Amino acid sequence: MMIEQTEPATPTRERPDAPVTTPGKVGEHTERADGVPKVKGEFEYSSDLWMDGMLWGATLRSPHPHANIWSIDTAEAEEMPGVQAVLTHEDVPGRKVYGMEVPDQPVLAWERVRYQGEAVAIVAADHPETARRALEKISVQYEVLDPLTDPEEAMKEDAPRLHLSGNVLKRINILHGDVAEASASADVVVSGEYEVGMQDQAFLGPESGLAVPDGQGGVDLYISTQWLHLDRDQVADSLGLDPEQVRLTLSGVGGAFGGREDLSMQIHACLLALETGRPVKMAYNREESFFGHVHRHPAKMRYEHGATRDGELLYVKARLVFDGGAYASSSIAVCTNAATFACGPYEVPNARIESHMLYTNNPPCGAMRGFGAVQVCFAHEAQMDKLANELGMDPLELRIKNAVRPGIRFPFGQEVPPPAPVRVILERVGDMPLPEEEEVMGRDLRRLPGGVSNVTHGEGVRRGVGYAVGYKNIGFSAGFDDYSTARVTLSIEEGEPLVRIHTAAAEVGQGLITVEAQIARTELGVERVAVLQADTRVGSAGSTSASRQTYMTGAAVKQACEQVRARIFQKVREEYADEDLAIEDGDIVSGGESVVSLAELLGGEEIEETVEFHHRETEPLDERGQGNAHLQFAFAAHRAVVEVDTELGLVRVVEVATAQDVGKAMNPQALEGQIEGGIAQGLGLALLEEIQIKEGKIQNASFTDYLIPTILDMPSVRAEILELADPEAPYGLKGAGEPPTIASTPAIVAALRDATGRELARVPVKPEQIVGIAEKPPSEPPQPGSRGYSGIGHLDEREEH
Amino acid sequence: MEFHSPDSWREALEVKAAQPEAVAIFGGTDVMVDLNFDRERPGAVLDLTRVPELGEWGEGDGRLRVGAGVTYTRIISELGSELPGLAMASRTVGSPQIRNRGTVGGNLGTASPAGDALPPLYVSDAEVELASTNGTRRVPVVEFITGPKRNAMRPDELIAAFHIPRAEGPQQYAKIGTRNAMVIAVCAFGLALRPERKRVGACLGSAAPTPVRAREAEEFIESVLDWDSRGEIGDTELRRFGELVGEAASPISDVRGTAAYRTHAVGVLARRTLGWAWDEYRRGE
Amino acid sequence: MRLRLNINGETREADGVWEGESLLYVLRERLGFPGSKNACEQGECGSCSVYLDGVLVCSCLVLAGQAEGREVVTVEGIAEGEELHPVQRAFVEAGGVQCGFCTPGLIVATHDLLGRNPDPTDAEIREALAGNLCRCTGYEKILDAVRLAAERMS
């Protein structure tokens, strides 16, 4: 692949100097470089962007999940004072559709809309209120159609086709061993049906950006995203421009978690800017944000596990059905991921897995932290608990007994690479001391289920403990040519050496720029490092997703530093010495003796190297679902302790303990932050978070009704971090961002089951499920305890609906 | 959109008389959400935060008069011992930021069945003081709230205050939310014991189109409680009280919870809060 | 309409303000104080927290005209000159910042908490910050930051 060296056009906005930092080396605690501007309110997020003469963009969205469009009349809107442009699909000069894997989503809808919230027209005006009023004046004639909202219905032969290609977006079968034979010899068989609701990334900074026309037909886009180059290519395609005419610069990103991998307002803002010749800012509000990005796929999963009497897994059968929603986004990769991880990190000699991804008229789904591994982990871990229960075996022991180990093969045929410390991490969480049992009666309300809402003073509260383990691929899989580019420049500034790092890798809050600086500090022995703002003037870094940036961009930065170092040593060898060279604190050292300072060696010279790092090739799955599909695997185990008010169904999570193998803790505090934050999102899925949809329409597009955990919901986390090096990876590291989100959800639900005895086959678990009522009141009133309100008897006999 | 920000009560009433369609705003916790999300575009907004009278409270004729602009934070810190039930309810409202701005007056004006301040007002037979340039009147809160987001205010009126007796005995408030903070009530329950009159006030929140008093439950438990000897309540009676409260509910199913769960949960809250309040009474607090 | 208010100790004016704008919008888009963040605009997340006449509020729920003549302190006014305030320093050191979108609100809310209660218990910290949503950190490092700031300020 070609390394791009596009010359920068005249910048339309002043580029701030990259702050010079003095990072620690790899593995040392290093404060994040953007921490100070962030605490001062000076860090510039995409929604903070502002330019003189700037216009405000707004989007007209379909109120219907499925409809034909007969006409769009913009005349009245165009005539409004203050309105500068009103655009529809007719005004898209290039490709009228976009999409990460399959370009199937209209930039602006024509003929048909396939989900509620689909963009139909856009407006630019001199005030956001003017833009909103103009949207009202656009008249769209819809013929409302019945929405197809059930993936099982969508799969049927006679279902209305939502796309020309049909409704099945992807289907994968994994056939491993001989399930028929294995099932005949199983002593114990457990089965279950599990469901995961639609989770939202709910990043705090809504979609926003500023498009600035360059006056020569091109455009600059300042944007919060996860993958600048993929955005650029899609924007350029739809604008009908060369990629060089579209320059993207990363602005501050208010969280991502997968939700910024697809386009939202990127093309729209650029269209409006080019049409009006003025800068255009678009910023969604929270409600629009729920329509503006893809969500985590809801899933229905049917499982059957067979084992021997002593707990050896013989086979797994699974049928996974995912609701992809109206457009493809990254659903194909999610379908593959789910299929490959369906059995969990266990040795499963025989397996038959079907994974189906369907188009429906529900909101499009795509990437979210955990990417297909989250859904199946909830199911396979529930199955493991069920099996343990059936066998009368300790659930942790059953997991340890069946844990994968290096050398065996996963059901998709790939050999388990070392290290794969599943057994070790399970043992570690098992060995951690449990939080002390405290008297519940009379405890501070804030430490009881319900908090200051004062629902219990200890009545009905029971404790439960649950375990789960999960794993995920790191980096892009299945034959994708995954790479990242880094440019490293060493120069002498104000008499001191300075390393500049330039990549297009999106810092979305995870702390990548700090790690990049640490790598330069480590490799080049230079104290001062500046990480430039990410933009498309350097080659692609790939997406900030799949827990891949520390690995991929980390490797690119490391290799670029190594090449810079080699050139320095070359110079040293020519002029000074050639033995045992090293760079220490800005000095060249040979055999322990300082020979020359970098400042003297380089003078006014700059040494610059650009490296494109590609990871080892992977393979797509074959027709039997077999292949060396993944680059690296990361594992994490969780133990949750909960207190449940069994009579009201309210929960306080007391503690989540985890053991995770990260290969190398690059920046320990930031790593802990990833682990704690990932667990919080897992907790959200376990207990709170679901986009509720009725007939294709979102019922809770707000932070009032889509509830994410508050500081009163999130317990303390006890984390044990293992550093077992992956010999192939830079510094031995493993991607660390996603594993915390995967098994934390099933661990919490397992703890709820432990406390209540209920099956709890769906997340998020609602209070209704915990107390065992759905549409009718309980057949029997709850049994009060000895004093009528000081305890609760058994609810377990009541059926779960 | 017109914006009025009078700095006296007299002037506020005059604005409202001249422009009855003007929407009153204080803490903005409802009005601003409607504005920010383009749900309402009122022709005029009447800001009441500069009216000093609304922020005052005092005692007279045996009852407290609390200005409609007294914030939840002030109710907790200034009226916690006088109105413990209302203070408990106030503590469950939003966050410190919300409690610093939100007011009981706003809860009354919005008349949401989920208004946290309403059950405590119901159980104490509070009255709402309404004012216009034509004078003032007092309406019992139970008559003031007429339906979901509907109240008995005339177009030219503003809410001046509410009148409520100082707590005569233990009070409780409990609310169900699926999150442990920052929730709108799935359902809620307010309780007040009035030992001198041997009366019990019980009110469900968010379990019917308006808050509702559970009259049957009140009568039942009043007949059972041994006020003079302060004897224990039997399990059967507590349970019966909870059931009767549950029977007073006529909830809907929505994104926050099912009707069946609301009915169930409000009964549990009733049973538990009665136990706590009675315990407190028995301890002579 | 025209608006005149005091922000971080200085008088500021904005002209041509639409009456339906929030204080948050005026701060961010008209007066050059984008530090307060627009994450939910319905009082659920606390990212827009500011002091209004010394009281912690969500600026998204304050109608612009309600702030006329008032004193507003935003996150940009918390630092003491070039020096970070101890609350800010503690958030950086303790790792309480990731994407940082919730951070300005948390800085102001923590500043308010420690002003009222210099030595809060964990339960008190949690109750006081329950209206400040963070999606990145899981809150553990935010608790660390508040504890650290409290310790240093005492």
d(CA A676, CA A244): 40
- Out of A551, A584, A614, pick the residue that ends a domain: A614
Kindly identify which residue of chain B lies nearest to residue A456, measuring between CA atoms. B272
d(CA B4, CA B24): 9
- Out of B143, B165, B187, pick the residue that ends a domain: B165
Instruction: Give the pLDDT confidence score for residue B61 in this predicted structure.
Output: 80
Our CA dihedral for A768, A771, A777, A778, rounded to 10 degrees, sits at 150
Instruction: Give the pLDDT confidence score for residue A774 in this predicted structure.
Output: 65
Interface touch A44/C34, C-beta < 8 Å: yes
Same domain? For A138 and A285 the reply is yes
Instruction: Give the pLDDT confidence score for residue A350 in this predicted structure.
Output: 98
Nearest to B184 among A687, A704, A776 (CB): A704
With DSSP H G I counted as helix, E B as strand and the rest as coil, what are the percentages for chain A, rounded to 5? 25, 25, 45
B47 CB near a chain C CB, below 8 Å?
yes
Interface touch A773/B275, C-beta < 8 Å: no
Q: Testing the interface with C: which of B97, B183, B184 to mutate, by most C Cβ within 10 A?
A: B97
Same domain? For A574 and A598 the reply is yes
d(CA B55, CA B253): 37
Interface touch C112/B25, C-beta < 8 Å: no
Instruction: Return all residues near B174 (Cβ < 8 A) that are at least 6 apart.
Output: A450, A453, A454, A455, B188, B189, B269, B272, B273
Give me the sheet containing A67-73, strands edge to edge: A112-113, A67-73, A139-144
Distance in Å, alpha carbon of C87 to nearest chain B alpha carbon: 18
Q: Indicate the DSSP class of residue A498.
A: E
Q: Which residues of B touch A450 (CB under 8 A)?
A: 174, 176-177, 180
Whether pTM > 0.80 for this model: the answer is yes
Same domain? For B221 and B120 the reply is no
- Tell me the residues of chain A between 696 and 715 that have a Cβ less than 8 Å away from chain B: 699-700, 704-705, 707, 709-713
Interface touch A454/B37, C-beta < 8 Å: no
d(CA B261, CA B251): 9
Interface touch C138/A678, C-beta < 8 Å: yes
Interface touch A455/B175, C-beta < 8 Å: yes
Q: Indicate the DSSP class of residue A775.
A: S
Give start and end residues of each alpha helix (H) in A138-265: 151-155, 179-185, 228-239
For chain C, count helices (H), then strands (E): 5, 5
CATH number of residue A288's parent domain:
3.90.1170.50
Same domain? For B16 and B88 the reply is yes
A620 CB near a chain B CB, below 8 Å?
no
Kindly identify which residue of chain B lies nearest to residue A714, measuring between CA atoms. B180
Over range B29-41, report the average pLDDT.
97
Phi-psi region of A217 (alpha: psi -120 to 50; beta: other; left: phi over 0): left
What is the overall mean pLDDT for chain B? 97
Q: Indicate the DSSP class of residue A734.
A: -
Domains of chain C: 3-77 (3.10.20.30), 86-153 (1.10.150.120)
Q: What percent of chain B has pLDDT over 70?
A: 100
Please tell me whether the peptide bond between A433 and the residue prior to it is cis, using omega within 30 degrees of 0. no
Q: Which residues of A touch B91 (CB under 8 A)?
A: 452
Interface touch A781/B258, C-beta < 8 Å: no
Q: How far is C-alpha B164 from the chain's CA centre?
A: 11
Q: Which residues of A touch B191 (CB under 8 A)?
A: none
Nearest to B260 among A450, A650, A777 (CB): A777
Among candidates A510, A32, A533, A636, which has minimal Cα distance to A256? Answer: A510
Same domain? For B147 and B184 the reply is no
Asked whether the beta carbons of A513 and C99 are under 8 A apart, the reply is: no
Name chain C's partners: 3 or more CB pairs within 8 A: A, B
Give me the sheet containing A188-196, strands edge to edge: A168-176, A350-359, A313-325, A299-307, A188-196, A762-763
Same domain? For B16 and B143 the reply is yes
HSE-up of residue A12 (Cα within 13 Å, Cβ side): 27
Q: How many domains does chain B have?
A: 2
Name chain A's partners: 3 or more CB pairs within 8 A: B, C
CATH number of residue B62's parent domain:
3.30.465.10
Same domain? For B108 and B244 the reply is no
C20 CB near a chain A CB, below 8 Å?
yes
Q: What does the pLDDT look like over C35-90, one tens digit per residue?
A: 999 999 999 999 999 999 999 999 999 999 999 999 999 999 999 888 999 999 99
d(CA A491, CA A520): 13
d(CA B241, CA B268): 9
Interface touch C42/A704, C-beta < 8 Å: yes
Interface touch C60/B96, C-beta < 8 Å: no
Tell me which amino acid residue C51 is. Answer: Y
Nearest to B261 among A687, A768, A784 (CB): A768
Give start and end residues of each alpha helix (H) in chain B: 9-18, 31-36, 72-78, 84-91, 96-99, 104-110, 118-123, 141-144, 215-224, 235-247, 259-282
- Tell me the residues of chain A between 363 and 402 that have a Cβ less than 8 Å away from chain C: none
C125 CB near a chain A CB, below 8 Å?
yes
Structure tokens at A338: 């789910």
Kindly identify which residue of chain B lies nearest to residue C42, measuring between CA atoms. B33
Asked whether the beta carbons of A713 and A729 are under 8 A apart, the reply is: no
Interface touch B243/A781, C-beta < 8 Å: yes
Instruction: Give the pLDDT confidence score for residue A11 in this predicted structure.
Output: 64
Instruction: Return all residues near A581 (Cβ < 8 A) that are at least 6 apart.
Output: A569, A572, A573, A588, A589, A590
Does residue A424 belong to any structural domain of this protein? yes
Same domain? For B266 and B190 the reply is yes
Over range C15-30, report the average pLDDT.
97
Kindly identify which residue of chain A lies nearest to residue B241, measuring between CA atoms. A788
Among candidates A631, A639, A658, which has minimal Cα distance to A722? Answer: A658
Does residue A604 belong to any structural domain of this protein? yes
Q: Which residues of C touch B36 (CB under 8 A)?
A: 22, 41-42, 60
d(CA B180, CA B173): 15
- Out of B165, B197, B223, pick the residue that ends a domain: B165
Beta bridge partners of A105: A98
Q: Which residues of B touch C61 (CB under 8 A)?
A: 27-29, 32-33, 98, 101
Q: Testing the interface with A: which of B268, B279, B283 to mutate, by most A Cβ within 10 A?
A: B268
Residue bearing tokens 């529809």: A88
Distance in Å, alpha carbon of B63 to nearest chain C alpha carbon: 29
Q: How many domains does chain A have?
A: 3
Residue bearing tokens 């509620």: A116
Three-class DSSP category at B148: coil
Confidence grade of residue B60 (pLDDT, cut at 50, 70, 90): confident
- A373-391 vs A744-756: helix crossing angle, rounded to 10: 40
Sign of the dihedral defined by the CA atoms of residues B117, B119, B121, B124, in that order: negative
Interface touch C47/A204, C-beta < 8 Å: yes
Start-to-end CA distance of chain C, whole Å, equals 45
A34 CB near a chain C CB, below 8 Å?
yes
Distance in Å, alpha carbon of C128 to nearest chain B alpha carbon: 6
Please state which of the ranges A582-596, B92-106, B238-252 shows the lowest mean pLDDT: A582-596
CATH number of residue B250's parent domain:
3.30.390.50
Interface touch A781/B180, C-beta < 8 Å: no
d(CA A320, CA A338): 8
- A373-391 vs A395-402: helix crossing angle, rounded to 10: 110
Three-class DSSP category at A310: coil
Interface touch C18/A127, C-beta < 8 Å: yes
Among candidates A192, A188, A196, which has minimal Cα distance to A388? Answer: A188
Among candidates B275, B276, B251, B255, which has minimal Cα distance to B265? Answer: B251
Same domain? For A432 and A528 the reply is no
d(CA A454, CA A432): 32
Same domain? For B35 and B69 the reply is yes
Same domain? For B29 and B155 the reply is yes
d(CA A52, CA C35): 19
Q: Indicate the DSSP class of residue A240.
A: T
Vertex B117: Cα angle to A202 and A699 (nearest 5): 30
Does residue A514 belong to any structural domain of this protein? yes
Instruction: Give the pLDDT confidence score for residue C81 in this predicted structure.
Output: 85
Asked whether the beta carbons of A312 and A383 are under 8 A apart, the reply is: no
**Which parts of chain A have pLDDT scores under 50?**
1-8, 775-801
Same domain? For A38 and A52 the reply is no
Which residues span the domain enclosing B229?
171-282
Structure tokens at A676: 């704690």
Asked whether the beta carbons of A575 and A581 are under 8 A apart, the reply is: no
Distance in Å, alpha carbon of A246 to nearest chain B alpha carbon: 33
Distance in Å, alpha carbon of A237 to nearest chain C alpha carbon: 30
Among candidates A226, A532, A283, which has minimal Cα distance to C34? Answer: A283
Same domain? For A266 and A140 the reply is yes
Same domain? For B35 and B103 the reply is yes
Q: Testing the interface with C: which of B26, B45, B47, B95 to mutate, by most C Cβ within 10 A?
A: B95
d(CA A665, CA A732): 10
Same domain? For A635 and A566 the reply is no
C111 CB near a chain A CB, below 8 Å?
no
d(CA C32, CA A349): 63
Does residue A53 belong to any structural domain of this protein? yes
Distance in Å, alpha carbon of C83 to nearest chain B alpha carbon: 27
Q: What does the pLDDT look like over C86-114, one tens digit per residue?
A: 999 999 999 999 999 999 999 999 999 99
Distance in Å, alpha carbon of B34 to nearest chain C alpha carbon: 9
Asked whether the beta carbons of A375 and A338 are under 8 A apart, the reply is: yes
Does residue A395 belong to any structural domain of this protein? no
Structure tokens at A413: 């045929």
Same domain? For B124 and B236 the reply is no
Instruction: Return all residues near B196 (Cβ < 8 A) that are at least 6 apart.
Output: B168, B169
Same domain? For A755 and A664 the reply is yes
- Out of B106, B135, B165, pick the residue that ends a domain: B165
Q: Which residues of A touch B87 (CB under 8 A)?
A: none
Among candidates A462, A706, A701, A778, which has minimal Cα distance to B258? Answer: A778
Same domain? For A446 and A537 the reply is no
Same domain? For A52 and A39 the reply is no
Same domain? For A653 and A606 the reply is no
Among candidates B247, B243, B221, B246, which has minimal Cα distance to B234? Answer: B221
Same domain? For B15 and B150 the reply is yes
Same domain? For A641 and A542 the reply is no
ipTM of the complex: 0.99
d(CA A107, CA A267): 7
Same domain? For A608 and A640 the reply is no
B133 CB near a chain C CB, below 8 Å?
no
CATH number of residue A586's parent domain:
3.30.365.10
Instruction: Give the pLDDT confidence score for residue B285 in this predicted structure.
Output: 61
Over range B254-267, report the average pLDDT.
96
| Beta strands A528-531 and A496-503, pairing class | parallel
Q: How far is C-alpha B181 from the chain's CA centre?
A: 19
Asked whether the beta carbons of A128 and A56 are under 8 A apart, the reply is: yes
Same domain? For B100 and B189 the reply is no
- The answer on pLDDT for B95 being more than 70 is yes
Confidence grade of residue C132 (pLDDT, cut at 50, 70, 90): very high
Which residues span the domain enclosing A264?
47-145+206-253+260-292
